[in-house]
Amino acid sequence: MTIEQYRKTMEQIEQDHHELKSVKRSLELDHAAFMQKYDAAMEQQARDCELISDLQDKLRELESGPVAQVRSAEDLEEELASSDRTKADL
């Protein structure tokens, strides 16, 4: 290898090294940004899970408490039909 070839090779290696350092810096910044987003998402998920649990507990309390039983839509339709038949019989 001649000195000129060696210089060209070294220049190419230095250029490649510079590009790799630049790409590495960019990837590190991206990684840091994604980690912040991930951490925020995990915190939000924890809050959401806690809220869901609280709401499920409240629902169980309401379902088992002295709250009047709410009729389903079918029961209401049945009652209306029965009421209509009773009115027709009069």
Confidence of residue 72 (pLDDT cuts 50, 70, 90): low
Q: What is the pTM of this model?
A: 0.56
Q: Residue with structure tokens 């998402």?
A: 41
Of residues 14 and 85, more confidence is placed in 14
pLDDT digits (tens, 9 = 90+) for 12-59: 999 999 999 999 999 999 999 999 999 999 999 999 999 999 999 999
Indicate whether 74 pLDDT > 90. Answer: no
Nearest residue to 70 via CA among 58, 62, 82, 61: 62
**Which alpha helices (H) appear in the chain, and where do they start and end?**
3-64, 73-89
